[in-house]
Every structure is written in C-alpha cells, then in structure tokens.
Amino acid sequence: MLTKRIIPCLDIKDGRTVKGVNFVSLRDAGDPVELAARYAQEGADELVFLDISASEEKRKTLAKMVRDVARAIDIPFTVGGGISAVDDVAILLDNGADKVSVNSSAVRRPELISELAQRFGTQCIVVAIDAKQLENEWVVHLVGGKLPTDRKLFEWAKEAVDRGAGELLFTSMDHDGTKQGFANAALKKLSETVSVPIIASGGAGDMTHFVDTFAHGNADAALAASVFHFKEIGIPDLKTYLRQHKIPVR
C-alpha cells in the first residue's frame, strides 16, 4: 500500500503567507521561506505554494521566492497561481519547483493541460479544482471561488486527467477553513472516477479528519494550512497518530 502524504499549503499574497475561511477574511501567517524550512524539518512530505495575488508584474517576485524555497528545503514542492502558459511553467521549474498547479486557466482553456503535459511530463502537472455544492451538484468555481462555471466536478476531473494531469488537488469550498473535516464522499467518488492521485483540501481541523480522509475518502494526500501555520497540529504528532490508526505514512 502506498504511503499517504501530508502537505502543508502556503497561500501567498504580496510575498507573505496568508490564511482565510471559505476563501475570504485573510490573515498573515508568516514568511513563506521560513515556514517551508520549518515544515521540511518537521517531516512534511511535500509543500504547495499558491500565489493568490498572481499577476504579470509579480512573476519575477514569485520566481525569486521559488528559488529561495528550493535552497531552503529538500522535499518536493508545487507552485500555482496565475499560470496560463508554457513559459510561466518553464520559469518556475527552472527556478526549482518540482510541480506546477493550474486551475482557472485550465478550465478556461483545457488545451493548456495537454500542452504542459507534453512539454514537461504529466508527473509535474497538478490540476487544482475548487468546487462547491449547488443544488446537490458539485460545481467548479474560478477566481478564488467567486465565479461559478458550467463545469461539474467529476466530469472536469476526468477530462483533466485524460488531457494529462498527473495529480488532482480538490478543494471543497464548503469545507475550506471550517475545520469540520474533508469532503470525503466527494473524494471517494473522485478516486473511483480517475486513476491519478487525489490531494484532499479544505476542512482539516483535528487529527481525526486526516484519518477519515485517508480511510473513507480514499485520498492519497491531505493538504492543510491554518492547523499547521498556527501550530494547532504538529506534523510529527500527526504522523504518529496516523500510524497508530494503521494509516501508512513516511
């Protein structure tokens, strides 16, 4: 059985790590490079950095941060936020990122996934999907969850994988920041729909939630932010707890 991964997520705005609830009410959570180094030392398996203020002017700033992070840690990390072209990805990978995450740009132009997979390989293409339930259907949203689309979660997930996504990062906007647990029923269905690893995101509040998403949601990895940033859960403690509950971790 493959080991399950624990992945702290760092939302980056103007060079700082921030965290909110249901994608709003952001508060400062520290310096991304310092946090990254701390998580690597504590035993995180990977990291995800999402630049939520991404814009053309900030590309160089993001590339520098990626370079600084790559020097500070020895675990894989994924970078996303505003990626819309092959050149954007080349810059991030050249500066030390292991994988990139695409979201809105892929929904708007699905061919982007195929272009990135062909150029860089499926192993470094993560498609992030933000969705919320509307009338009992999981609907894909864009622009940090503000804009509903006509895309449905499971169909879009399948298309993304068919086009070359090597991994999916699914965030339930209904669960994000609530600390009430992950969207395990949707995660389980996702895992039955596609053949690539699924990263669960949105809802981590205590250690039982991680056990549940691995045992009942069939997630391959669990991503969380505030519980790690504000030291509510320590990664070494979490891994010990998971082992005690027969969840294989590194």
Return the active site residues.
11, 130
DSSP assignment letter at 20: E
Backbone phi, then psi, for 200, in 5-degree steps?
-85, 135
Cβ count within 10 A of residue 133: 14
Two structure tokens written together for 176? 């994000």
Asked if residues 168 and 198 have their Cβ atoms less than 8 Å apart, the reply is: yes
Report which residue type is found at 23. F
Partners of 125 in beta bridges: 100
Two structure tokens written together for 211? 């056990």
Q: How, if at all, do strands 16-21 and 137-142 pair?
A: unpaired
Q: How, if at all, do strands 137-142 and 125-134 pair?
A: antiparallel
